[in-house]
Amino acid sequence: MDQRPAQSPNKVWLNLVLDIVLPVMILNKLAKHLGDNGPLIALLLAISLPLGHGLYDLVKDKKINWISLLGLLNVLLTGGFALLRLNGIWFAIKEASFPGLIGIFVFGSAFSKKPLFSFFLNQPGIFATELIEERLDEGDRRAQYSQLIRRCTFFFSGTFFLSALMNFILAIQIFKDIPTGLNENETANILNGQIAAMTWKGYLVIALPLMVITTSLFYYCIRSLAKMTQLSLDELMGGQHQ
């Protein structure tokens, strides 16, 4: 079971800078300063940042994280599609497929013995798991708990399916077919601009709202668990808020 502490604010900001801010700046601003092959060099540099960052985290953690692997594959496909000059529909399919695949995995886990949400709550460093287990063993609470976890897992999978739909719609609007007859650098510049727009708009228009929805879901789950076990929030969290 994963008992790693939550990411620090500094780590969150580092992720934002390396995966969003710098790639967008490179794609939008750097190409014109890099000579004849500027658009290609800018694309490779922009891709290398989240790719290198993701690989570093995988090596540092010394374990396979399937979400991280999907993210790395997403970056590689973005670069591959750009180098092959594929049409916009391929980018739209790619942008929708990754959250869609994660959503399928999360949805499927709801039918297993350990739905995904159970891993979020079974963290001794965050929750008073022993006390919670004692309360769940009283009466019919264990069955109620299983229903709560399964229901939250279903809702959680829905956020990924919603993300897939929103990604597809946004990508269709951004990745327009590039006119024929342009030279290679002009084509690359336009495509780099589209990738940059998808990167920052996807975060602002899709990721942030989904974070709000996910936070609300976690709040609902914790409040429901507190009511079910007749524990206060402080007791549920092991007195961490005292």
CB atoms under 10 Å from CB of 29, counted, come to 11
- d(CA 152, CA 137) in angstroms, rounded, equals 20
**How do the domains of the chain map onto residue ranges?**
9-236
H/E segment holding residue 160:
helix 141-174
Distances (CA, A) of 168 to 69, 79, 88, 149, 172: 21, 18, 11, 29, 6
- What is the structure's pLDDT at 169? 94
- What is the structure's pLDDT at 127? 86
Q: What is the pTM of this model?
A: 0.75
* Tokens linked to 40: 């290609």
- d(CA 63, CA 65) in angstroms, rounded, equals 6
- Of how many residues is the chain composed? 242
Angle, alpha carbons 79-35-86 (nearest 5°):
25
- What is the structure's pLDDT at 2? 41
Residue from 197, 158, 171, 23 nearest 94 by CA = 171
- What is the structure's pLDDT at 68? 58
Angle, alpha carbons 154-160-163 (nearest 5°):
140
Cβ neighbours of residue 236 under 8 Å, at least 6 residues apart?
A: 127, 128, 132, 222, 225, 226, 229
* 10-residue mean pLDDT series, the chain (242 residues): 46 66 73 71 80 76 61 73 81 89 92 89 83 84 92 94 93 88 80 86 83 92 92 78 46
